[in-house]
Structure 1
């Protein structure tokens, strides 16, 4: 029975951590180790981690100075001893059958480098109400793309296809692709899936409920930081362009460039309506120069400023 290494980065989520660790204990697949990487927490995370470590030797509590989630995940990867690897954020959960279901799939599909499933969001305090979208309106966005090569890469460049705790990965894939980019504080998982696809990884999808990833929605979760995520998405996409050009992925380059313009316009609109007005003006001016659509983008500036003033006057 192959070992699964579960890596949980944690920063000041002691108030939610027991529920997350209990979902690990509830796994029907017993051969796992759980690496809890405490990223410099100042709350009770250490006490909880040490309590679970004392209760079950499969838990390993590891402390590091605060360096960010990617650095914490990378620390876990270096410490991991498993054949397979499962990421889990410290406020999220795994369905009880997730490891068992996905280990069986990887062992019966030797061509697959990772298998991922569907996910459901739930509001903190209401675990029985599930949604396919973070706004709790049950809007599906996981389309089950699988395979490898150009089609997979293009789908990932259209947008993320899974949450961070959805896949189970072969450790040999991580050794091939490398670790997470520690400079990224947002969208680091999406960027990693793209790197996997560019390295030729084969993705497998299985939507069965027993393998669902469960994502908690609460005031401090990343689900409520859409602006920062879009901001970093633009940064990642701009870094990807020369890499995609280097491998001759013409369609991927086109998809990426269209998405850059779309996301940059969304950021500019956000700044003009609720954020920094100078940043919004700079954003639209840059888009006008890049695309040559001066009339369209420069007319957007007074339109969204007027929208802002009207909303403030109500």
Structure 2
């Protein structure tokens, strides 16, 4: 029978040979006894398996055909033997004191414990990616670090990063696994479900170093936008009734994402679909006249496009 570990760290990876050993090394530097590291390789073809060979005595390496990051994380959870769970993306790094900062809090209280984040790039030409960090909203906490209203904070998009989470495995399973139908925003969807059941706490010290680089999944892709539409729709549905502020802000974010999709479709001259997306955005916020004007303009573009075809 396999022994129970103190903490399981799950690292999903896909074609991150250049970064994965740094990520594993930052977990090994945690100086935590009885630590289990599970690397779930989601179909890499770039030599990731070979890069990890020197670490095989320290990690459990699991290979599966490419199914997406949610499926990889879920596989790691199902294979885990730890009482506590943590996650790290394979291109990010932990500070050496990351787990020790959280472990006592999680062992004494049934909470989801998060920490701060700092961002970095390896190449000067990637520095533009750091611009997206300028408008980050951090969680609102009391003096002890407990998040005052996690349901509202998640609905508003305040910055909880999965790579900073530590929680009990039993708690995670009570909330449920990641939604594998989502290709983007799956962590935010999970946080929304969790906020309805479990208290959050947040330590502001930046103990996760998040790397930005050109090969990351882009939030401007149509698939990513549609995935976030589903996420925000889920949050809106979950907060209906008991959480009016969270419901209202989720509706606003959902409308904005439909409008974002309209822009992306219009860029591809898919004007009929773009007008439909813009109309959906307006129907969610019928007092927003800018959305009505946008719908009208895209409808005209659709008409002109039809005449010219």
TM range (shorter): 0.7 to 0.9
- Structure 1 residues 261 and 11: alpha-carbon distance in aligned structure 2, compared to 1, 3 A threshold: same
Counterpart for residue 22 of structure 1? 25
- Structure 1 residues 235 and 78: alpha-carbon distance in aligned structure 2, compared to 1, 3 A threshold: same
Counterpart for residue 104 of structure 1? 104
Are 1:47 and 2:50 counterparts? Answer: yes
Contact 2:10 2:37 (8 Å CA) reproduced? yes
Q: Please say which of residues 260-269 and 65-74 is displaced more in the overlay.
A: 260-269
1:231 Cα deviation (Å)?
Answer: 3.1
SS of equivalent residue, structure 1 residue 286: helix
Q: Please say which of residues 139-148 and 8-17 is displaced more in the overlay.
A: 139-148
1:237 Cα deviation (Å)?
Answer: 2.1
Could you tell me how far apart the structure 2 residues matched to 1:259 and 1:137 are? 18
Could you tell me how far apart the structure 1 residues matched to 2:76 and 2:171 are? 15
Counterpart for residue 10 of structure 1? 13
Are 1:194 and 2:188 counterparts? Answer: no
1:31 Cα deviation (Å)?
Answer: 3.0
Where structure 2 has 5 or more consecutive residues not aligned to the other structure, the ranges are 300-309
| TM-score scaled by length of structure 1 | 0.81
Are 1:242 and 2:237 counterparts? Answer: yes
SS of equivalent residue, structure 1 residue 83: strand
| TM-score scaled by length of structure 2 | 0.83
Counterpart for residue 310 of structure 1? none
How does 1:285-304 map onto structure 2 within 5 Å? 285-292=279-286, 296-300=290-294
SS of equivalent residue, structure 1 residue 61: strand
Contact 1:7 1:73 (8 Å CA) reproduced? yes
Contact 2:274 2:298 (8 Å CA) reproduced? no
Where do 4+ consecutive residues of structure 1 move more than 6 Å? 302-305
Of residues 201, 205, 208 in structure 1, which corresponds to 2:205? 208
1:139 Cα deviation (Å)?
Answer: 4.7
Could you tell me how far apart the structure 1 residues matched to 2:289 and 2:192 are? 35
Q: Deviations over 1:127-174 (max 9, x none)?
A: xx999x84276554323546478x210111111421220111111211
Are 1:262 and 2:259 counterparts? Answer: no
Counterpart for residue 225 of structure 1? 219
The CA RMSD measured in Å over matched residues stands at: 3.0
1:93 Cα deviation (Å)?
Answer: 0.8
Are 1:143 and 2:139 counterparts? Answer: yes
Of residues 173, 176, 185 in structure 2, which corresponds to 1:175? 173
Counterpart for residue 304 of structure 2? none
- Structure 1 residues 250 and 16: alpha-carbon distance in aligned structure 2, compared to 1, 3 A threshold: same
How does 1:114-129 map onto structure 2 within 5 Å? 114-125=112-123
Contact 2:140 2:147 (8 Å CA) reproduced? no
Contact 2:37 2:59 (8 Å CA) reproduced? yes
1:104 Cα deviation (Å)?
Answer: 2.9
